[in-house]
Amino acid sequence: MTRRMLLLLLILVTAELSLTKFSAGAIGVNWGTEASHPLPPSKVVELLKSNGIAKVKLFDADPKVLRALSGSNIGVTVGIPNSMIKSLNASRKVAESWVHDNVTRYFDGGNRVRIEYVAVGDEPFLQSYGNQYRPFVIGAAMNIQNALAKASLASEVKVVVPSSFDSFLSESGRPSSGHFRADLNKTMIELLSFLTRHHSPFFVTISPFISFHQNKNISLDFSLFKETAKPHKDGRKTYRNSFDLSYDTLLSALSGIGFPDVDIVVSKIGWPTDGAANATSPTAEAFLRGLMGHLEKKTGSLLPRETYIENLLDEDKKNISSGNFERHWGVFTFDGQAKYSFSLNHNSKKLINAQNVQYLPPKWCVVNNNKDLANASAKALEACSLSDCTSILPGGSCSGIGWPRNVSYAFNSLYQQSDHREESCDFGGLGLITTVDPSEDKCRFWIQLDTSHSSSHVPIFFLSWSLLLLFLLSWT
């Protein structure tokens, strides 16, 4: 090779490294599976590929999901549930067994899964968890790291710990005063020392949606990257959107404990489409359009290495202790149908829906208006304790349909989740099965997916007393 060719090669490599350092990183999605009737994994992988989504973050290591991802060349983050953290901290053998069953086996053969990260826990530092997981996280991460090294996979798979949006803060609202929560300081130093030692990035949630709801000084326009938003000043620096405000608060927190140069991955960021004020599809689309455009334009060495949108699909079994919106983060509805018109990549103009989705027959369960409905509200509450009624609670897309149509919504929710079993539309004689779609305007009465292998057991999701009270009040 001539000196001239070597020089040209050096210039090309340097240019590529420069672009990697100073442009926004890859866009991926979170793929949660807390759904009563999940879209088949093979369909989800088709959905990812047809929309050019090259990275996906999982919350567990479901074999059916990982098998579907085999041979896809999609970069995968495999998750370890919080419930396993304590046992992984206590035993290297448990960690080795987990790595063997959930990582090593998918590196064998031709159709391997491109596992890039193992995420220890799902936001185990969330303030509401207290000390439930925090004392065991670092030990669990170290044992998983050692297990990967033993399996000769440590150079290919990095261990990370996703941190919650409330792990860092600034009481003054100024990014320059950003710091980690006092109860987390020691743990964060240990975590970042571990990550730095093994060249792993720092995974963290940034949530402009929750910041908007919790902070009266954050306007909706500021959250949605609108040029008309009133800017926030911090010394000589001016902030024109909530994302940069939060991101720089995080950078200050990292610098404050001695880790100013760690690579950052935004492991969750999104905007829900139901279940709260301003949680609508048009608002969520405006947020994601603003975010994608902002990441494309923004330059700098401290940009996120990767950004994962929350969430790929809606999940009707997700815990709603922090808000009804938790079940509505999806870019797609539960059945893989796009909520917005724009695309997550440069190669297509709009999102592409899941194809050939199998639904249950077009039947709904509604309230029988010819019956005495004195007991209808109580029956609806029973239905909602066994299914998903977040859309008819205050702030939801169906909260304005009134009584008794909201009773019909509750009845239908249980009927769909129960795979159209006739007895699930009884409700003491108040239910009626119909083939006429009761949907209206923006309130859709869903038909569930025909998964054919769904369990006959319907899991119970008890609404909190406060939600029940709001539910009852909304009918008065």
Q: How confident is the model over 27-43, as a mean pLDDT?
A: 97
**C-alpha to C-alpha distance for 439 and 446, rounded to whole angstroms:** 8
Two tokens, residue 301: 């060495």
Report the catalytic residues.
Answer: 123
Number of residues that make up the chain: 476
**C-alpha to C-alpha distance for 404 and 398, rounded to whole angstroms:** 12
Whether residue 122 is predicted with pLDDT greater than 70 in this model: the reply is: yes
Whether residue 470 is predicted with pLDDT greater than 50 in this model: the reply is: no
- The answer to whether 71 and 111 have CB atoms below 8 angstroms apart is yes
Whether residue 466 is predicted with pLDDT greater than 90 in this model: the reply is: no
Q: What are the pLDDT digits (tens) for 184-215? A: 999 999 999 999 999 999 999 999 999 999 99
CA angle, residues 241, 168, 129, in degrees to nearest 5: 125
Identify the helix (H) or strand (E) that includes residue 197: helix 185-197
Q: How confident is the model over 244-248, as a mean pLDDT?
A: 96
Residue 332 — very low, low, confident or very high, per pLDDT cuts 50/70/90? very high
Q: How confident is the model over 441-447, as a mean pLDDT?
A: 93
Percentage helix, strand, coil for the chain under 3-state DSSP, each rounded to 5: 40, 15, 45
Whether residue 14 is predicted with pLDDT greater than 80 in this model: the reply is: no
Select from 192, 101, 182 the least CA-distant residue to 141.
192
Residue with tokens 């998964």: 451
Whether residue 99 is predicted with pLDDT greater than 90 in this model: the reply is: yes
Whether residue 165 is predicted with pLDDT greater than 90 in this model: the reply is: yes
C-alpha 468, offset from chain centre? 26
Question: What pLDDT sits at residue 15?
Answer: 38
Judged by average pLDDT, the poorest of 20-24, 324-328, 404-408 is 20-24
Residue 441 — very low, low, confident or very high, per pLDDT cuts 50/70/90? confident
State percent of the chain over pLDDT 70. 88
- The answer to whether 28 and 307 have CB atoms below 8 angstroms apart is yes
Question: What pLDDT sits at residue 301?
Answer: 52
Select from 407, 375, 446 the least CA-distant residue to 37.
446
**C-alpha to C-alpha distance for 416 and 449, rounded to whole angstroms:** 9
Select from 38, 70, 73, 33 the least CA-distant residue to 53.
73
- The answer to whether 337 and 329 have CB atoms below 8 angstroms apart is no
- The answer to whether 212 and 278 have CB atoms below 8 angstroms apart is yes
Please, what sign has the CA dihedral across residues 6, 8, 10, 13? Answer: negative
Q: What are the pLDDT digits (tens) for 267-303? A: 999 999 999 999 999 999 999 999 999 998 876 556 8
Whether residue 475 is predicted with pLDDT greater than 80 in this model: the reply is: no
Whether residue 145 is predicted with pLDDT greater than 90 in this model: the reply is: yes
Identify the helix (H) or strand (E) that includes residue 120: strand 115-120
Whether residue 254 is predicted with pLDDT greater than 50 in this model: the reply is: yes
Looking at residue 83, its amino acid is S
Two tokens, residue 303: 């940009």
Question: What pLDDT sits at residue 22?
Answer: 34
Two tokens, residue 401: 């349909």
Select from 372, 382, 368 the least CA-distant residue to 414.
382
Question: What pLDDT sits at residue 2?
Answer: 53
Question: What pLDDT sits at residue 25?
Answer: 75
Residue with tokens 């990982």: 66
Question: What pLDDT sits at residue 442?
Answer: 85
Q: What is the pTM of this model?
A: 0.90
Angle, helices 405-417 vs 376-384, to 10°: value is 40
Question: What pLDDT sits at residue 138?
Answer: 98
Beta strands at 264-269 and 306-309: parallel, antiparallel or unpaired? parallel
Question: What pLDDT sits at residue 320?
Answer: 96
**C-alpha to C-alpha distance for 320 and 323, rounded to whole angstroms:** 5
Question: What pLDDT sits at residue 75?
Answer: 98
Q: What are the pLDDT digits (tens) for 209-236? A: 999 999 999 999 999 999 999 999 999 9
- C-alpha R_g of the chain: 24
Cα end-to-end distance, the chain, whole Å: 83
Q: At 58, phi and psi to the nearest 5?
A: -100, 160
- The answer to whether 134 and 187 have CB atoms below 8 angstroms apart is yes
Mean pLDDT over each residue of the chain, to the nearest integer: 90
Q: How confident is the model over 440-458, as a mean pLDDT?
A: 76
**C-alpha to C-alpha distance for 192 and 259, rounded to whole angstroms:** 7
Q: How confident is the model over 301-329, as a mean pLDDT?
A: 93
- The answer to whether 60 and 34 have CB atoms below 8 angstroms apart is no
Residue 111 — very low, low, confident or very high, per pLDDT cuts 50/70/90? confident
Q: At 204, phi and psi to the nearest 5?
A: -150, 145
Angstrom CA distances, 343 to 13, 191, 271, 281, 350, stand at: 30, 35, 16, 14, 4
Question: What pLDDT sits at residue 454?
Answer: 42
The DSSP symbol for 304 reads -
The DSSP symbol for 332 reads B
Whether residue 360 is predicted with pLDDT greater than 90 in this model: the reply is: yes
H, E, C per residue of 360-420 = CCCCEEEECCCCCCCCHHHHHHHHHCCCCCHHHCCCCCCCCCCCCHHHHHHHHHHHHHCCC
Peptide bond into 404 cis (omega under 30): yes
